[in-house]
Each structure stands twice: as C-alpha cells, then as structure tokens.
Chains A and B, each alone.
Chain A
Amino acid sequence: GENVEQHPSTLSVQEGDSAVIKCTYSDSASNYFPWYKQELGKGPQLIIDIRSNVGEKKDQRIAVTLNKTAKHFSLHITETQPEDSAVYFCAASISRGSQGNLIFGKGTKLSVKP
C-alpha cells in the first residue's frame, strides 16, 4: 500500500524567511496530493492541493511542487509570518479509486519566530 514520508518533523524559521516541507510517496499510481494545516486546538484544514497532471500550483504565499518521476512533492511558504506557525500534514492518494485512501505523512511542526 501507499506510504508517505514527511521531512523535517520540526522546522524553525525567522519571520520573513521561506519554509520548505518535503514528502515522498511510494505508490506511483497516486495522483492527488493535498496539504493540511493544523493550528493549535483545531482540526487539520486543507490549504492547497495538487493533482498529477500539473507540476506546480501557487496560492499567494503558498506553493506546492510535484515531481512524479522522483515521487516527491513539496510545500513552499514564502515570506513566513507568525500565523503560519502550525503543524502541516502532506497526504497522497489514488483519487476516486475504489481502493484509494488518503494516506497522511506524520506532520511537520513549523515555528515562525518574530
């Protein structure tokens, strides 16, 4: 089955710097890659996702890149702000497949220091 590995487990950056979180997946059939942000005391919330027919997607300060050949995808946050501090989860699945299931990485705790 699918296995998703996420690195680093903790990341500390200075406000204004960029942050990058990387995930690798094992099943080459996976084609849907969402990223979730979990703020303290809240449930994970989708912040951006990418499907295998594109290599990059941006939404303001957040971008996700996908390398299908290498089976890895990354979250990039530019101009980080203290409110970006949270736990971030990547996930992978075979979208809409009858046997598909969203498999999560173990999470990255991002701390943005003012």
Chain B
Amino acid sequence: EAQVTQNPRYLITVTGKKLTVTCSQNMNHEYMSWYRQDPGLGLRQIYYSMNVEVTDKGDVPEGYKVSRKEKRNFPLILESPSPNQTSLYFCASSFFGRSETQYFGPGTRLLVL
C-alpha cells in the first residue's frame, strides 16, 4: 500500500530533551516536507526536501532540523524542544514537487512540557 508513515504518533517530552520524529514513504517520491498544524493557523511548512541531500527552509524553520540521506526517509529533529513547539506535525511527500499534490502521513502529536 502506498503510504507515508510517521513515528511516533504521540510524544510527550520535556523542554530541552532532543527528539526525532521519523518519516518514511514508499512511493519513490523525490519531494518530502514537514508541516505543523496549530488551531487557527492551518498548515505551516517547516522544511522541505527536493531530493536526497537537498533541503530548504519553509515558513517556520526555527528550532527544527532535518536530514535527507535516503530518498524514502526524512526525519524531523528538535534538538532542544520548547513548549511553543507543542503541535501536530505532518510529513508529506509528492511526486511532482512542492507545488503539486501532497500525500500526508497520519500525524505526530507532540507535547513539550
């Protein structure tokens, strides 16, 4: 089944404790991205990757890092999480790039205490 998977689905952590949210897609898509969803703010892009070893900042990149060492994986790293990073995070991928249809993962709900 073609899909985007994320792990973990739920995460509670404390301020300053490094964490990684994994994302993997099995559709051979070159483009992958991360969004955060907050009430009243919709979907905001954090980082995106056009291909392996090619990443770029989205609209809200502060406090986040990403890497793209393999085509199928695009982990999101929070090196020192803060409470304002409490949010619902979505990974997405696309065959044709950032301006075309995105396929979203199921989401990761993060609470930073």
CA distance A104 to B42 in the complex (A): 7
CA A44 to CA B35, docked complex, whole Å: 11
Q: How large is the interface on B (under 10, 10 to 19, 20 to 34, 35 or more residues)?
A: 20 to 34
Report how far A87 CA is from B55 CA in the complex, Å.
29
Q: Is the CB of A97 within 8 A of B99?
A: yes
Q: Is the pair B99, A44 in contact by a Cβ cutoff of 8 Å?
A: no
A61 at the interface (CB under 8 A from B): no
Q: Are A104 and B99 in contact (CB under 8 A)?
A: no
Interchain CB contact under 8 A, B42 and A89:
yes
Residues of B within 8 A of A (CB): 4, 40-43, 45, 90, 92, 96-107
A-B contact sample (8 more), CB < 8 A, given A96-B97, A106-B41: A41-B106, A41-B107, A44-B104, A46-B101, A46-B102, A94-B99, A102-B99, A102-B102
